[in-house]
Amino acid sequence: MNNHLNNYLAITIGNTRIKAVIFGSDRQIMEEYAFRHEQLTILEAELAERDFVHIAIASVVPELITIWHNLPQTQIIKTADVPLRGLYATMGCDRALAAYGAGEIYGYPVLVIDAGTAITLTGIDMNKALVGGAIVAGLRSQFLSLYQSTAALPDVHIPETLPNRWSMDTRSSIQGGIAHIFLSGLQAYIDNWRSQFPDAKVIITGGDGDHLVKWGLQVDIIDKNLIFWGLWHCHEFQSKSLSQ
């Protein structure tokens, strides 16, 4: 299909899901895909017959290999490829890319909260240098760990609206405890960041970001494509470096 030849395929492999987007030449996202790990063959079947000049893959699951991994036009993006300063060797490339994408799109300094399987916070200053961050088990992981690690506690789902702080039954107590403790803790990080960088944007991404914002977390922007913006800008940065 030659009409797809000039498009750019970006793939991210997270702890739970594989996501892919197809960029047009004008940095517009033309198509989006999201599947669980065990559904990789569905994504491959969807796109196997299409040709891409540029392919980028960022993965936190090295053992999961796609049909695109070993193509000559494919670049496997590592943390060291992200042009931010002060990144440490064991930092996940997903965190680095989301922070870089946020800064390039919305400006530096920036604080990124990625609410996925894990919740990460990553702060970047005006010089594109890492200030620091934090990692905690994500919302779904919190609920699941209580269910799997205890004999009597029920399997409870994330509530759509913020539950009462004080509850009168087990299910509501779990929902309220996790929701309020998470909300208070994350807001404390945000408030501390804003005290240091009052003009910085606070941006949330990841599958559970909507829940946190509905509960009242005070962020400036919701953008679920930060990691893909990071991949795009890595591609642009490296293209410019090669041409110089």
Q: How far apart are alpha carbons 224 and 114 in whole angstroms?
A: 9
Q: How far apart are alpha carbons 97 and 4 in whole angstroms?
A: 25
Neighbour tally for 82: CB within 10 Å: 23
User: If we measure between CA atoms, which residue out of 206, 213, 30, 214 comes closest to residue 101?
Assistant: 206
Return the amino acid letter for 138.
Answer: G
Catalytic residues: 94
Contacts of 40 (CB under 8 A, 6+ apart): 18, 64, 66
User: If we measure between CA atoms, which residue out of 113, 93, 177 comes closest to residue 142?
Assistant: 177
